[in-house]
Structure 1
């Protein structure tokens, strides 16, 4: 009986922020997978182990959550004044598709570190000791991200004492700057696509909700927790084990996607699970994080919970954190009001795993709100490197 052997591809398994994924140098992929198309999608799905009706990813590198079903490709940049081009694919767990519609803010941290690890940086730009400034072109959303990566003896410093809620062990701090997150580029409009800071969003089967819809970091629909029957302090188990609550959140996400012009029909949302995100906000309240750590209302500005790929996220997506920072900086949005209103350039918000501080400064130009930069700190490290193997007939 004849069989097709496995294909061996150089790869690196990395954690970035509260996510992890399989990283490739674009030039290491099989030639037919170096361009967008079905072959590349099939390859990445097989690497991760999708689609998996068991939702376990036993036969792949994925972890059966939205935070661990990710692939990244990097190459030397084709853009002026950038070091690397970074392309991100969010692999569906139980369906046969890869969503290319947005970025992963957490893995943006690892993209900066991987650029150095993989030899994609100009050696002259990598100090022997100090901070390496990696200029990243995020190809999915056509944005610039600056990663400030610590370097020791010419190599990425991965160990350190920076602690990030949602990550078990400390590591070295990497500061990320998301430039012009409020400029939606190709979309041709403001960061508030409806033109309003707060809209009345009609959701079939639920009613009319107040909503802030924003395209900073990643398209996000913010609603008030109490309007949809939540407290704002929920942990994953309180929502992810209840299909009716997940369906309610998905209905809001679909209505928001339609209102933002991201899809034309509700059916399109099934193939666009990565964007927009749906998040709910509430004023600061005491709660106990998933680690058992007590979070006190006096230590945070607001609570935020967000869903990714149909499930409540265990911490907070990096791109959604950019949206939170941006919306909090604009007086009158639901995020800003939950944090107490008024002008602010930074907020510390509570999420299921703990807290996170993010910053952004907003200003009005010709009647439009803009944010030139959003900043947050994350960490990253290599978990394993070598080759990933996939059946040769899988792509």
Structure 2
């Protein structure tokens, strides 16, 4: 019996922020996978190693966590004034689907470096030393991201002394600007889809509590830690090893998604794992991070823990950081209240791995809140490049 050899597809394995994923140029994908549809989804699932009933991704490139089960497709942009189109797929670990409903803010930091290194930016625009500005069209949500990528000796600079909590080693700093990051479509196209800064969210079996539901960066449901029995200092084990806690957060997420207009019924939430996110906030207090570092109450403005793909994130999603920055800038939200209230243009929040500083420019126009941009720093690095291999009959 003869067996066909595996298919070799050019790819780059990259870390971006506190995530990592497999990056492809659109033109390098097999023809059937160059367009949205079952062939593309099946191919990416096979690359990652999903669905995996063992939850390990042993037979793929994934890491069996929400931060490592990711694929990115990059192409020269078809949008005026942009350099590249960036499409992000969150691959489910235990179910056969790819969620295309949102962006990955962490991997956004790797898009500019990938584009420069792979010939998608006009070489005349790449300085020998300095910053190269890459205008990115985020195709999942139809938004602009501007990446300022350091270049040294004509090549992307990856090493440096910028430290990012949640990443083991320092690297070169990449500044990201998320331009007009509020949602234009889902949930009625409003930053606050319910029309309120704070709502009473009724979750059967859990209770009724205050929630700020915001569509910016990524749809996010914020609740007070104390209202659901937490302090805001929890690390991954306290949540991820508690099946009852995970079920509670999924119920909150599902009912929040309905209130935000993202789904019509809670039964649809299982097919939309990537969005919305659920996060709980609390005022600052001293505690120890996952690395063993002591964090004082004076080191941050507030504490935030967020769940991604059904598990507490080890640090913070980049898109959720945009939501945090924006909500903190708007007096009256739960995020702003946890940070002490008032107006602000930046906030330092504590997450399980440490701290992060993010900024947002929010203002009220005709009674509606808008945000011009959110800014944060990340880093990115190529871990491996070459080819990924998948069985030819796998898609």
| TM-score clears 0.5 | yes
1:348 corresponds to which residue?
Answer: 348
Q: Which runs of 5+ in 1 are unaligned?
A: none
Q: State the alpha-carbon separation in 1 of the partners of residues 172 and 226 from structure 2.
A: 38
Q: Which digits, 9 at most, give the CA deviation of each residue in 1:307-328, with x for residues without a partner?
A: 0000000000000000000000
1:126 corresponds to which residue?
Answer: 126
- Conserved in 2, the CA contact under 8 Å of 1:281 and 1:302? yes
Residue 382 of structure 2 is aligned to residue 392 of structure 1: no
Pairs within 5 Å for 1:193-342 = 193-342=193-342
Q: State the alpha-carbon separation in 2 of the partners of residues 182 and 63 from structure 1.
A: 30
1:82 corresponds to which residue?
Answer: 82
Q: State the alpha-carbon separation in 2 of the partners of residues 234 and 228 from structure 1.
A: 13
Pairs within 5 Å for 1:159-178 = 159-178=159-178
Q: How many residues align?
A: 395
Q: State the alpha-carbon separation in 2 of the partners of residues 135 and 348 from structure 1.
A: 26
2:361 corresponds to which residue?
Answer: 361
Shift of 1:209: 1.0
Q: State the alpha-carbon separation in 2 of the partners of residues 223 and 124 from structure 1.
A: 48
Residue 36 of structure 2 is aligned to residue 36 of structure 1: yes
Query: Helix, strand or coil for the counterpart of 2:383?
Result: strand
Shift of 1:124: 1.9
Query: Helix, strand or coil for the counterpart of 1:53?
Result: coil
Shift of 1:389: 0.1
Query: Helix, strand or coil for the counterpart of 1:161?
Result: coil
Q: State the alpha-carbon separation in 1 of the partners of residues 146 and 186 from structure 2.
A: 21
Residue 6 of structure 2 is aligned to residue 6 of structure 1: yes
Q: Which digits, 9 at most, give the CA deviation of each residue in 1:119-138, with x for residues without a partner?
A: 11111221111000000000
Query: Helix, strand or coil for the counterpart of 2:332?
Result: coil
Shift of 1:187: 5.5
**TM-score, normalized by length of structure 2?**
0.99
User: Mean alpha-carbon deviation: is it higher for 176-185 or for 64-73?
Assistant: 176-185
Shift of 1:278: 0.3
Q: Which digits, 9 at most, give the CA deviation of each residue in 1:284-323, with x for residues without a partner?
A: 0111010001111101000000000000000000000000
Q: State the alpha-carbon separation in 2 of the partners of residues 124 and 178 from structure 1.
A: 25
Q: 1:229 to 1:218 in 2, by over 3 A?
A: same
Shift of 1:267: 1.3
Q: Which digits, 9 at most, give the CA deviation of each residue in 1:98-134, with x for residues without a partner?
A: 0000000000000111011111111122111100000
Query: Helix, strand or coil for the counterpart of 1:141?
Result: coil
Q: 1:94 to 1:183 in 2, by over 3 A?
A: closer
Detail structure 1 runs of 4+ shifted over 4 Å in the superposition.
185-188
Query: Helix, strand or coil for the counterpart of 1:250?
Result: helix
- How large is the Cα RMSD of the aligned pairs? 0.8
Shift of 1:361: 1.6
Q: State the alpha-carbon separation in 2 of the partners of residues 188 and 43 from structure 1.
A: 33
Q: Which digits, 9 at most, give the CA deviation of each residue in 1:11-31, with x for residues without a partner?
A: 000000000000000000000
Query: Helix, strand or coil for the counterpart of 1:112?
Result: helix
Q: State the alpha-carbon separation in 1 of the partners of residues 100 and 183 from structure 2.
A: 19
Query: Helix, strand or coil for the counterpart of 1:344?
Result: coil
Q: State the alpha-carbon separation in 2 of the partners of residues 266 and 255 from structure 1.
A: 6
Q: Which runs of 5+ in 2 are unaligned?
A: none
- Conserved in 2, the CA contact under 8 Å of 1:284 and 1:298? yes
Q: State the alpha-carbon separation in 2 of the partners of residues 183 and 23 from structure 1.
A: 25
